[in-house]
Amino acid sequence: MKYRQLTKEQFEELHKEFATFLATQQIDVNEWNEIKKNKPNVAEDEMNVFSDFVWDRVLSKANYLEHFSKDNLNLFRCNPENVERIVVKVHKQGFDFTSKEDFNWFMDNSKDDAIEYFKGQKPYLKERNVEVFDLIEKGSAISNGKLFEAVLKIIS
pLDDT tens, residue by residue, 20-55:
999 999 999 999 999 999 999 999 999 999 999 999
Q: Are residues 148 and 79 in the same domain?
A: yes
Question: Beta-carbon neighbour count of residue 87 at 10 Å?
Answer: 15
Domain extent for 85? 64-155
Query: Residue 104 contacts by C-beta under 8 Å, 6 or more apart in sequence?
Result: none
How far apart are the C-alpha atoms of 47 and 50, rounded to whole Å? 5
Q: Are residues 48 and 82 in the same domain?
A: no
pLDDT at residue number 156: 87
For the chain, the straight-line distance linking the first and the last C-alpha, in angstroms and rounded, comes to 41
Say if 1 falls within a structural domain: no
Say if 134 falls within a structural domain: yes
Percent helix / strand / coil, the chain, rounded to 5: 50, 20, 30
Q: What does pTM read for this prediction?
A: 0.88
Q: Are residues 47 and 92 in the same domain?
A: no
Domain boundary (44, 61, 78) is at 61
pLDDT tens, residue by residue, 63-106:
999 999 998 999 999 999 999 999 999 999 999 999 999 999 99
Say if 2 falls within a structural domain: no
